[in-house]
Structure 1
Amino acid sequence: MYLKDFEIRWSDVDANRHLANSAYLNFMSQTRMAFLMELGFDYKTMEEQGIGPVVFYEHVYYFKEVFPGKPVRVSMEVMGMSENGKFFEFHHNFYDYKGKNVAHCEMMGAWVNLKTRALIGLNDDFLNAFNKVEKPEGFRVLTKEDTRKFAKVPKDLV
């Protein structure tokens, strides 16, 4: 499990004076990018490969309010990946300064070729880096169908 600590800034708080939902998304995004950079997926490397990550969805479950003045810790685990690395599923947990789990997020995404805008699998170097990451309980091999489980097409459009 990868962990990253954040100080809650004034700009992270909403009108209710607790951590804003947009701040949760920003903290998760920063955690993912820090994790990827440690794996060797830094901005330069992704630019050289012409790839970037794209988010399909982020589903956040909020358990308890978080307020400024104390840090928050965000975890990240790779919960799923397709065999070619094209699709990925990450889970995040938020912990307050006492270690209490205050939120959970399930997110799914893919890699996109930045020139063609088409989804793309990972090259062998990147795939090998991901394959070395610890697989938590519940890890699964993803297929394209897993990315479409929420897609609904109205009957009049078919």
Structure 2
Amino acid sequence: MYLKEFEIRWNDIDANRHLANKAYIEYAAHTRMSFLTERGFDQRLLGKFNIGPVVFHEHIYYFKEVFYGRPVKVSLEISGLSEDSKFFEFRHSYYDYKGRNFALCEMIGAWVNLETRKLIPLPEEMQTFLKDVEYPDDFRTLTKEDTRKFNKIPVDLV
């Protein structure tokens, strides 16, 4: 399990003086990018293949409040990948300074070609970066259907 520590900043706090909703998303995104960068997914490599990650949905479950003044840790586990690594699922657990779990985030995303704006499989050269990690016991192979499990579609104003 990958862990990243964060100091709760003043601008991470909301009107209730606890960690703001936006901070949970920001911490998860920062943890993912740190994990990927440390595994070799830096801007140079992403630029070489002209790809980037895109989030389909991100769900946060709040268990307990956390406040300014103490560091927190955010974990990352790859809880799912499609066979070609086009689709990915990450799970983040949030821990207070005593190691108590105060929130959980689950997200599903994919890789997009930045020129065509189409979803693409992760290039073979990069797949080893994600397949060479320890997966949790509940790891699963994703399909396109998993990315649409909530069956939400756009509803336009017109």
TM range (shorter): over 0.9
TM-score (norm 1): 0.95
Q: Please, which moves more after superposition, 125-134 or 25-34?
A: 125-134
- Report whether the alignment pairs 1:88 with 2:88: yes
1:27 corresponds in structure 2 to 27
1:63-103 CA deviation, whole Å, 9 max, x = no partner?
01110100000000000000001000000000000000000
Aligned partners of 2:27, 2:55: CA distance in 1, in Å?
14
> C-alpha displacement at 1:153, in angstroms?
5.5
The one-letter code sitting in structure 2 at the alignment partner of 1:72 is V
Aligned partners of 1:94, 1:41: CA distance in 2, in Å?
23
SS in 1 for 2:90: strand
Aligned partners of 1:153, 1:57: CA distance in 2, in Å?
12
1:72 corresponds in structure 2 to 72
> C-alpha displacement at 1:7, in angstroms?
0.1
Which portions of structure 1, spanning 4 or more consecutive aligned residues, are displaced by more than 3 angstroms?
A: none
> C-alpha displacement at 1:120, in angstroms?
0.5
- Report whether the alignment pairs 1:56 with 2:56: yes
2:147 corresponds in structure 1 to 147
Question: Between the two proteins, what is the percent identity of the paired residues?
Answer: 62
1:123 corresponds in structure 2 to 123
SS in 2 for 1:45: helix
1:41 corresponds in structure 2 to 41
SS in 2 for 1:23: helix
- Report whether the alignment pairs 1:103 with 2:103: yes
SS in 1 for 2:133: coil
For structure 2, the residue ranges without an aligned partner over 5 or more in a row are: none
Please report the RMSD computed on the Cα atoms of aligned residues, expressed in angstroms: 1.1
SS in 1 for 2:38: helix
SS in 1 for 2:145: helix
TM-score (norm 2): 0.95
> C-alpha displacement at 1:16, in angstroms?
0.5
> C-alpha displacement at 1:39, in angstroms?
1.2
> C-alpha displacement at 1:107, in angstroms?
0.4
For structure 1, the residue ranges without an aligned partner over 5 or more in a row are: none
